[in-house]
């Protein structure tokens, strides 16, 4: 930009009041007033040396970079906040990381949290449970305390049993109709089978389509004990094993708890079906079991006899 000398003195072109002299259309030239006898001249602003300009640019660049760095260090990294929430849930779940993936949700990048001078602490609100999507709180207890909540999703995967073909209702599951496939199990509220062996031999309660995951509620074990059937009631205590005759009051599958009747005492007790002929009496029902005549097997127990009994 150029400065022009006028009868009124020096003025910067484009600023202040225009000189009384009239321009003839050419930049920088002034037509003298007829009453002004002084010589007009065009004065140009001296240019700065190239080295000085380069130094100024470098100083400005360094100052700008330093300012940006200083401004960035004033705020807490949102990545640190998210990592704190993830580490907290990982510790709570105790997962090895092979089948579980924990991801922190989105945080608005416009969120400005003062940098914390102390380690960040994560927490769950009172009464909160760890679910598929869990809200984790992260707080700073430094000079400028703050608290923010981070949505965290938990994605668990595992090998589950899949039907390789349509399984109609009433059919018995065989090994060749199943395969293992790794799938997300976080949303499988009905459960799943983790091994093919656990599902083989069970009967289908409702149709299962090809490619669907098998759940325990869709299958049922065949009854090996029928209502009214005579069974042997068994109770084991240490090295002593006692057997007594009984009768099943309901149908039962292997491993199922059923009610049985002690044929000697008529008392009703509960037991676990161990085979089509044997029901193991539960510990809480042993008193009722001993209220009748029993036959001892295995290690024989010596019964001390008191003189008062003679």
- Same-domain check for residues 164 and 145: no
The CATH number given to whatever domain includes residue 233 is 2.30.30.760
In tens, the pLDDT along 86-115 reads 999 988 877 545 678 899 999 999 999 999
- Residue where a domain terminates, one of 141, 156, 171: 156
pLDDT band at 242 (very low <50, low <70, confident <90, very high): confident
What is the tally of structural domains in the chain? 3
- Quickly count: other Cβ atoms within 10 Å of residue 195's Cβ: 12
Same domain, 148 and 183: no
Domain region containing 232: 224-298
pLDDT tens track for 268-282: 989 999 888 999 988
Mean pLDDT of the chain: 74
């Amino acid at each position: 930009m150029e400065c022009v000398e006028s009868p009124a003195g020096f003025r910067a072109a484009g600023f202040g009041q225009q000189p009384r002299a009239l321009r003839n259309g050419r930049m920088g030239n002034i037509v003298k007033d007829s009453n002004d006898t002084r010589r007009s001249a065009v004065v140009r602003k001296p240019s700065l040396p190239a080295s000085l300009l380069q130094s100024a640019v470098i100083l400005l660049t360094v100052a700008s970079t330093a300012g940006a760095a200083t401004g960035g260090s004033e705020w807490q990294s949102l990545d640190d906040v998210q990592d704190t929430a993830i580490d907290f849930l990982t510790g709570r779940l105790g997962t090895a990381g092979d089948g579980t993936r924990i991801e922190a949700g989105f945080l608005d990048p416009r969120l400005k949290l003062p940098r914390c001078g102390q380690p960040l602490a994560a927490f769950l609100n009172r009464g909160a449970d760890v679910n598929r999507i869990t809200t984790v709180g992260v707080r700073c207890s430094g000079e400028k305390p703050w608290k923010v909540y981070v949505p965290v999703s938990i994605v668990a995967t595992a090998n589950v049993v899949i039907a390789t073909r349509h399984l109609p209702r009433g059919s018995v599951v065989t090994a060749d109709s199943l395969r293992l496939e790794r799938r997300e199990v976080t949303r499988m509220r009905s459960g799943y089978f983790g091994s093919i062996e656990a599902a083989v031999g069970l009967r289908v309660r409702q149709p299962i389509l090809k490619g669907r995951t098998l759940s325990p509620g869709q299958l049922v074990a065949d009854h090996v004990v029928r209502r009214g059937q005579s069974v042997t009631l068994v109770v084991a205590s240490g090295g002593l094993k006692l057997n007594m005759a009984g009768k099943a009051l309901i149908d039962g599958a292997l491993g199922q708890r059923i009610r049985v009747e002690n044929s000697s005492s008529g008392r009703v007790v509960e037991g676990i079906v161990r085979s089509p002929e044997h029901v193991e009496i539960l510990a809480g029902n042993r008193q009722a079991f001993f209220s009748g005549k029993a036959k001892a097997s295995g290690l024989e127990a010596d019964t001390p006899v008191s003189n008062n009994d003679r």
